[in-house]
Structure 1
């Protein structure tokens, strides 16, 4: 293939904005992928080297350390002396420093503090670059530079440009059509039957599961193949996000807050089955109750992994 042809190839990408509230952190690993470039956005004004026990997410240094730990623990592959997936740190609020010398001083402090946070730890090998930006004052060229940086690191990852069977592409199209037809979740058993239709051409269950795992890795579905969870396949990850939001939210009706189930949750941390059902009823359009068995399995898995 000529270089010009390679440059003309287009690739789809999905952008995920992880919720910043710490209440959602236990669910993040469900959506994380090894086939990703991570932008770690932090407020450089709040960054410090505070060494406090536990995790204090109000402190930016702890925030940065936490996300490096999460990415490093869940997905970490050594490539040419570096670790994938790549992490690009983006520092905001640069417009707060009006004087150039003051801005340079603050940037140096940030890099010195970041070095201390990552000192003598393997997770620092995920770091690719640091950008200091102002969302209100910087020109588009600054953000274009970050976009190019993301593309460059994405194309250097092992899974970029990886060939896959044509029937995988056909199956992905079927999954997307199911999602667009308001089918947010399906069972592995159902999808195994669909994949073996003559128009698609799968013959072995293991090949279908390998394709589903590939779709999970690139972010189009949420799928787990293992002893703990292997049946539900989330065809619309955004739907799962909204379902989690029913459980992790400060918008709880007063009638629920005075229930015995809520009291048990606040006193013992136990989330009862009946309370889960009542919380899912907050968003009837999501049809969570119809899929509550699968949703509970996925939620339990997320909490178990979060530990």
Structure 2
């Protein structure tokens, strides 16, 4: 399947404590640097699952930007439609995890993503509309996301990313679509769903979104379609190391299952991908490729 992924590509700096975290104090632990970003992580997972993937993003003109672009090429992610912005600082995400691998908090420097303007995206829309599926994250400016919602022809999957950025989606969905089909699917967690008024059972965005995948962490995933909820439990957390990339792997699995798969079957495959993602300190677990022929 040919998939275009439009969104953030940043360097992840992940700090994990060796003992239970103590606030307002220095905590012993480890610090690792690895490629990340919601869009890039989804693209990487899809490439490991055997899909033909093109990433559409902006890179900074610095060491992190060069490392990310080279890494994309090494793992089979196309960068033909990306841009390296001269003088710009590449996006970066710093996370702090407790000793059990749970995310305590983070800081995202994503200013460069503001350069992905509607005009910038419009020059790439013909190529994007040649895909079998399109994935976007809300690191895109609201105006750009709205333009994509209006003009995207293939099934469009959106990741809400964070509660702060999920608000951009409400603005984007207010833009009239040029095609009768709704946004195919939206993936969000509890905080993002609350921002969008979707956390209560059965709540929808009317006819603007076909499927909702509500990730509830260790409590599994709620699949909502036509106002009906189906709860799928998470798999046992065996070898839990880091939860940071689980949501990205979940959506990648849902996309890989294809638009012809039922919403529930797609979520089941996504949950398997998410379970593997949590077994590594990296944002993406290379072992996910074991699932590509299933």
Query: Is the helix fraction higher in 1 or 2?
Result: 1
Q: Same fold (TM over 0.5)?
A: no
Structure with greater Cα Rg = 1
Provide TM-score, normalisation by structure 2. 0.31
Query: Is the strand fraction higher in 1 or 2?
Result: 2
